[in-house]
């Protein structure tokens, strides 16, 4: 049985704003689901509906097969970690972590055992008597996580729990969360606007835009098989380059572009031979060496960013601006555009009307 099911969920706030349209997902026990999308796309609204903090306007929400729409938050077997952690300033780390169980009047010895166990999981054994104001941001975040661990809820919901942390701590916390997820037997639903967090931690990613699900898939799928131009542009950094052109005699032609199309792609773009088509090229699919499927391209470098093991080139190609991400680990490789190629074997084509990626028969099947 599915741990969590959202079926045809709509959310219209009082006042008429529709924040979520027809949201559907079936979550297995133990998954790490990440909802990702730009600000205002409805991520927190979905999470708050799961938590029971927001009413569901239409559709069904099930936990272990039971309809939850009208069930009180405390009876849903879930725990939520908020962006600001919502810790109690007058309570110690120990008391904060045990709070949800204290109000359930848990036996003192069981409570103690749970808190000590959680403290060791989130590595706060040494800080149990401290107060939140005397903790770093990362430690506060771990108290909030520890509280969720103590609650033993089946589903742990997290709304941007890392956004208050500095860059280094965010990276460490990503790994700590992944580890925590592996150690616990819980289902995580996690909200972020950061595509890196989504790619690094999720077992499955839900990409949202303007209240609608754009794609649900593994990190590999949303990166390598984006459903549409939105997903292609949102997942991956720097974003995918989009070039609108035409197909002529098996080649992709646009201002500054004349590229042979490999057979596997040519086979699926036949119906676009008359109209415009959009080529999607990731920055890392620009190469500075010749190989099978690498098509030469003439580009002017407007500016460059050197990043040690790779470099970003901001290119002018015909009337298009593109970003290339070149690895610098090949002998003699320079971050210039004197010899530049596009690896067409990894390119995507999109329908300019629907913005959907054009798929092969195998993928459609």
Residue numbers of the site for Mg ion (CB under 5 A)? 44
Contacts of 100 (CB under 8 A, 6+ apart): 79, 147, 150, 151
Q: How far is the CB of 43 from Mg ion (least distance, A)?
A: 5
Distance, CA of 155 to CA of 189 (rounded, Å):
7
> Any contact of residue 161 with ligand ATP (CB under 6 A)?
no
CB nearer to Mg ion: pick between 148 and 192: 192
CB nearer to ligand ATP: pick between 3 and 159: 159
> Any contact of residue 13 with ligand ATP (CB under 6 A)?
yes
CB nearer to ligand ATP: pick between 63 and 207: 207
CA 64 to chain centre: 25
> Any contact of residue 19 with ligand ATP (CB under 6 A)?
yes
Distance, CA of 212 to CA of 39 (rounded, Å):
13
Phi, psi of 74 (to 5 degrees): -65, -20
The enclosing H or E element of 86 equals none
Q: Which residues pair with 27 in a beta bridge?
A: 4
Choose which of 8, 24, 40, 296 interacts with ligand ATP (CB under 6 A).
Answer: 40
Q: Of the ranges 39-47, 111-119, 219-227, 311-319, which one interacts with ligand ATP (CB under 6 A)?
A: 39-47
> Any contact of residue 41 with ligand ATP (CB under 6 A)?
yes
Choose which of 32, 33, 43, 177 interacts with ligand ATP (CB under 6 A).
Answer: 43
> Any contact of residue 310 with ligand ATP (CB under 6 A)?
no
Q: With CB cut-offs between 5 and 8 Å by kind, which of Mg ion, ligand ATP, none does residue 19 bind?
A: ligand ATP
Q: How far is the CB of 37 from ligand ATP (least distance, A)?
A: 6
Site residues for ligand ATP, 189-208, by CB under 6 A, read: 193
CB nearer to ligand ATP: pick between 12 and 62: 12
Nearest CA to 81 among 3, 32, 143, 168? 143
Q: How far is the CB of 54 from ligand ATP (least distance, A)?
A: 8
Contact between 161 and 81 under an 8 Å Cβ cutoff? The reply is: yes
Give the residue nearest to Mg ion (CB): 44
Binding-site size, ligand ATP (CB under 6 A):
13
> Any contact of residue 45 with ligand ATP (CB under 6 A)?
yes
Contact between 271 and 302 under an 8 Å Cβ cutoff? The reply is: no
CB nearer to ligand ATP: pick between 19 and 144: 19
> Any contact of residue 17 with ligand ATP (CB under 6 A)?
yes
Distance, CA of 289 to CA of 88 (rounded, Å):
58
DSSP secondary structure, 217-271, as one string: E-HHHHHHS-SBHHHHHHSSSSPPEEEEEEEETTEEEETTEEEEPPHHHHTT-GG
Contacts of 57 (CB under 8 A, 6+ apart): 10, 11, 12
Name the site residues for ligand ATP (rule: CB under 6 A). Answer: 13, 15, 17, 19, 37, 39-45, 193
């Amino acid at each position: 049985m599915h741990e969590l099911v959202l079926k045809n969920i709509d959310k219209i706030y009082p006042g008429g704003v529709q924040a979520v349209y027809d949201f559907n997902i079936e979550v297995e026990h133990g998954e790490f689901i990440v909802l990702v999308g730009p600000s205002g796309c409805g991520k927190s609204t979905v999470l708050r509906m799961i938590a029971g903090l927001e009413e569901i306007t239409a559709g069904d929400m099930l936990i272990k097969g039971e309809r939850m729409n009208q069930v009180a938050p405390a009876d849903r077997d879930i725990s939520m970690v908020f962006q600001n952690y919502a810790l109690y300033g007058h309570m110690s780390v120990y008391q904060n972590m045990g709070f949800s169980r204290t109000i359930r009047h848990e036996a003192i010895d069981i409570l103690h055992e749970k808190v000590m166990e959680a403290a060791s999981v989130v590595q706060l054994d040494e800080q149990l008597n401290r107060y939140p104001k005397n903790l770093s941001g990362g430690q506060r975040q771990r108290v909030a996580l520890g509280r969720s661990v103590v609650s033993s809820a089946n589903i742990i919901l997290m709304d941007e729990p890392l956004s208050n942390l500095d860059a280094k701590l965010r990276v460490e916390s990503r790994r700590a969360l992944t580890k925590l997820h592996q150690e616990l037997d819980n289902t995580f639903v996690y909200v972020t606007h950061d595509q890196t967090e989504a790619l690094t931690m999720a077992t499955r990613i839900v990409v949202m835009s303007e209240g609608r699900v754009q794609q649900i898939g593994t990190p590999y799928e949303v990166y390598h098989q984006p459903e549409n131009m939105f997903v292609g542009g949102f997942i991956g950094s720097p974003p995918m380059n989009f070039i609108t052109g035409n197909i002529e005699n098996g080649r992709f032609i646009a201002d500054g572009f004349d590229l042979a199309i490999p057979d596997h792609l040519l086979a699926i773009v036949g119906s676009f031979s008359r109209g415009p088509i959009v080529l999607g090229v990731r920055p890392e699919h620009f190469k500075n060496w010749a190989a099978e499927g690498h098509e030469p391209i003439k580009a002017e470098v407007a500016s460059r960013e050197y990043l040690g093991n790779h470099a970003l080139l901001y290119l002018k190609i015909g009337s298009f601006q593109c970003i290339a991400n070149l690895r610098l680990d090949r002998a003699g490789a320079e971050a210039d555009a004197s010899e530049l190629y596009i690896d067409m074997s990894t390119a995507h084509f999109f329908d300019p009307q629907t913005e959907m990626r054009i798929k092969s028969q195998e993928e459609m099947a």
